[in-house]
Amino acid sequence: MQSFEIRKKYLEYFKSQGHAVILGSSLIPQNDSSTLFTSSGMQPLVPFLLGEKHLLGKRLTDSQKSFRSEDIEEVGDSRHTTFFEMLGNWSLGDYFKKEQLAWISSFVFDELKFDPSRIYVTVFEGEEKIGVLRDKESASIWEGIFKGKGIKADHIFYYPAEKNWWSRSGSPEKMPVGEIGGPDSEIFYDLGADLKKHENSPFSSQSCHINCDCGRYIEIGNSVFIEYKRTSSGFEKLDQRNVDFGGGLERLTMVSEGLDNIFETDLFVNILKTIENLSLQKYNDFRKAFEVIADHLKAATFIVAEGVTPSNLGQGYVVRRLIRRAIRFGRLLGIKKQDWARLIAANVASDYENVYPEVSKKLDFIQSELSKEEEKFNLTLEKGLKEFEKIAVSDISGKDAFNLYSTYGFPIEMTEELAKELSLKVDIEGFNKELSLHQDLSRTASAGMFKGGLADSSLETTKLHTAAHLMLAGLRKVLGDSVCQKGSNITSERLRFDFSHNEKMTAEQIKAVEDFVNDAISADLPVEMQEMSFEEAKKNDAVGVFEYGEMVKVYIIPGISKEICGGPHAKRTGLLGKFKIQKEESSSAGVRRIKAILK
């Protein structure tokens, strides 16, 4: 069973269990200040897990495009990717453990026909210091399910919070105040002890266990029971108990196709063939290089399709790092053809044409951006490599690392990678000091994040959120309808707003936008919300780059703004105060950034 059929079968199965099929959200998050990219299916649904009512009810299911920059270094072990699809289903205060585990096991055993003898599950062993008990209930449910399939209870394992607790921040001690999470129950598939035969596998002769991450037992799904919230005094139960299931489509496809390697599935096979033709090498001889190229350029293709272009800031920095790392591995394979990354983008567009047609529609733009970045990098790469060889006689100083970055376009991660190959160290602290003296750039995907969305739901933050809607309308009026939102971060003190525009705004344009917003505030207009289908919202000229599902909320300020948004907002514009733009500056290529306040 290939990926398209698995995706379709999953959504149909949970639809038959009373779930509404919703549209997946953008890879670029909104109303979430914790990450650069959407990295899980639950991320866009946090407001509803906290109790806000979803327009389509309490049972939801979808397939969500996801990207995890922290996995960049893991790519190359035949099972990790940065870009992936997460099949998900949610209970928003409706069903709980009994129904969830029964349904997901039925899907795995009866719909996908996976061999029950190869299935293992884990549950939470409990943690006294946070006051969350051992999850005997889930273990008991699994015992009943396994008994019906002739599986012994020794396929059930208890693990501590480090392994069997899920939140966007990780284990309980890493969760900030306000973060939600809970114990989970993971499903693993045994790929077999003969996995040792793969030369690039980390699986070796040492003893292993179900959740040791060696590669033999691969997680194919995780049911998270989100019922806790971190507070300043510890963990408290939420008003509603939620279920959040996520299953990686790539891994489910791998198992379904009888493979032990994600990159041999239909989701990558066409890309690998193109790389073989370009390099005149065979995948099995250079697995890591092939996998890095295939994964990184697929991820870059999807991110650029969302309007993010390579740059030295935030999301653009991640795109640049992905493309440049892929090109470097292409050189290691001996790819001689110029402007070759665009061919991989064409593969991606073709492979996903029936699922994500927007990639095909934007292919010319995507290929143009890949080509420009490939050309830029090639101009400096050879000089940079020669410079690296000069200094790689001992550990790399922070100053030398920064010189490679600023002069030759080497991401610090590439310098680290090259140094590691020679068993050398890089002075990262020294690099950061040099960096801070010159520019406010993002050092890594995880540390230099563009903070998108609302910091909280306080009154002042809510006012600034409404002001952002007024400002976008003002920008479109002053600069033209081509202006669209590229991201935002709103706190109780100020708003930060990124928008598409190629030129620095003049002082006159900035004042015109300020006057537009303040005139709307003085008019004391109502802020109205209407629920409608996404298609209806588009027909009514509602702006908004983020899709929340088949039904959306449209916030309307009569005569001023009509925007798709999840809220919250002030009731009237007259409550906002006086609007002032403090700064207008470049964010990345083709994107400007405004910082503004309400007095």
Mean local confidence (pLDDT), 112-116: 95
Q: What does the pLDDT look like over 151-178, one tens digit per residue? A: 989 999 999 998 999 988 888 888 888 8
240-269 per-residue burial string, b: 16 or more CB within 10 A, e: under 16: bbbbbbbbbbbbbbbbbbeebbbbbbebbe
Burial zone of 88 (CB within 10 Å; 0-12 exposed, 13-18 middle, 19+ buried): buried
Percent of the chain exceeding pLDDT 70 equals 91
pTM greater than the 0.75 cutoff: no
Is the pLDDT reported for residue 202 higher than 60?
no
Q: Which of 101, 189, 105, 107 is nearest to 149 (CA)?
A: 105
Q: What does the pLDDT look like over 228-256, one tens digit per residue? A: 998 888 899 999 999 999 999 999 999 99
Fold match, 3-248 / 453-598: no
pLDDT at 253: 97
Q: What does the pLDDT look like over 512-554, one tens digit per residue? A: 999 999 999 999 999 998 878 777 887 777 887 544 445 678 8
User: What are the angstrom distances between the C-alpha of 218 and each of 117, 195, 203, 214?
Assistant: 14, 11, 12, 9
- Distant-in-sequence, close-in-space partners of 382: CB < 8 Å, separation ≥ 6: none
Separation CA 341–CA 275 (nearest Å): 10
User: What are the angstrom distances between the C-alpha of 559 and each of 28, 34, 470, 497, 520?
Assistant: 29, 34, 11, 22, 9
pLDDT at 439: 45
pLDDT at 578: 94
Separation CA 130–CA 136 (nearest Å): 17
DSSP string spanning 514-532? HHHHHHHHHTT-B-EEEEE
User: 51-60, 188-197, 310-319, 403-412 — which is least confidently predicted?
Assistant: 188-197
Which of 202-216, 401-415, 461-475 has the largest mean confidence? 461-475
Q: Which of 486, 496, 474, 492 is nearest to 584 (CA)?
A: 496
Which structure tokens are listed for 347? Answer: 């593969």
Mean local confidence (pLDDT), 56-74: 91
Domain boundaries, the chain: 3-248, 268-438, 453-598
Q: Which CATH class is domain 3-248?
A: alpha beta
Q: What does the pLDDT look like over 365-419, one tens digit per residue? A: 999 999 999 998 888 788 888 889 999 999 999 999 988 887 777 778 778 888 9
At residue 444 the predicted structure's pLDDT band, cuts being 50, 70 and 90, is low
- Distant-in-sequence, close-in-space partners of 405: CB < 8 Å, separation ≥ 6: 411, 412, 415, 431, 435
Separation CA 261–CA 77 (nearest Å): 9
Q: What is the mean pLDDT of the chain?
A: 87
Is the pLDDT reported for residue 127 higher than 70?
yes
Q: What does the pLDDT look like over 561-595, one tens digit per residue? A: 988 887 688 899 999 999 999 999 987 767 899 99
Separation CA 358–CA 27 (nearest Å): 13
Q: What does the pLDDT look like over 307-360, one tens digit per residue? A: 899 987 788 889 998 999 999 899 889 999 999 999 999 999 999 999 999 999
Side-chain half-sphere CA neighbours of 482 within 13 A: 8
Percent of the chain exceeding pLDDT 90 equals 56
Which is more confident, 487 or 19?
19
**Residue with structure tokens 């344009």?**
509
pLDDT at 356: 94
Is the pLDDT reported for residue 446 higher than 60?
no
Is the pLDDT reported for residue 117 higher than 90?
yes
pLDDT at 485: 85
Chain centre to alpha carbon of residue 46: 14
**CB of 579 closer than 8 Å to CB of 517:** yes
Separation CA 463–CA 57 (nearest Å): 28
**CB of 353 closer than 8 Å to CB of 361:** no
Amino acid at 198: H
Does domain 453-598 sit in CATH 3.40.50.300?
no
User: 90-104, 218-232, 252-266, 481-495 — which is least confidently predicted?
Assistant: 481-495
Chain centre to alpha carbon of residue 233: 30
At residue 51 the predicted structure's pLDDT band, cuts being 50, 70 and 90, is confident
Size of the chain in residues: 599
Mean local confidence (pLDDT), 278-297: 95
Which is more confident, 528 or 454?
528
User: What are the angstrom distances between the C-alpha of 586 and each of 261, 310, 312, 480, 501?
Assistant: 42, 14, 11, 18, 9
Burial zone of 536 (CB within 10 Å; 0-12 exposed, 13-18 middle, 19+ buried): middle
**CB of 30 closer than 8 Å to CB of 488:** yes
DSSP 160: -
**Residue with structure tokens 């090109």?**
327
Is the pLDDT reported for residue 451 higher than 50?
no
DSSP string spanning 490-515? E-SS-EEEEEE-SSPPPHHHHHHHHH
Is the pLDDT reported for residue 205 higher than 70?
no
**Helices and strands: H and E segment counts in the chain:** 18, 17
User: 20-24, 193-197, 258-262, 281-285 — which is least confidently predicted?
Assistant: 193-197
User: What are the angstrom distances between the C-alpha of 596 and each of 18, 465, 483, 490, 513?
Assistant: 45, 11, 18, 10, 11
Mean local confidence (pLDDT), 33-53: 83
Separation CA 1–CA 262 (nearest Å): 14
Mean local confidence (pLDDT), 488-516: 90
User: What are the angstrom distances between the C-alpha of 373 and each of 232, 344, 590?
Assistant: 46, 14, 15
CA dihedral of 442, 446, 452, 457, whole degrees rounded to 10: -130
Neighbours of 149 (CB within 10 A): 13
**CB of 333 closer than 8 Å to CB of 275:** yes
Which is more confident, 445 or 170?
170
**CB of 262 closer than 8 Å to CB of 78:** yes
Separation CA 390–CA 400 (nearest Å): 10
- Distant-in-sequence, close-in-space partners of 127: CB < 8 Å, separation ≥ 6: 160, 161, 165, 172
Separation CA 541–CA 178 (nearest Å): 35
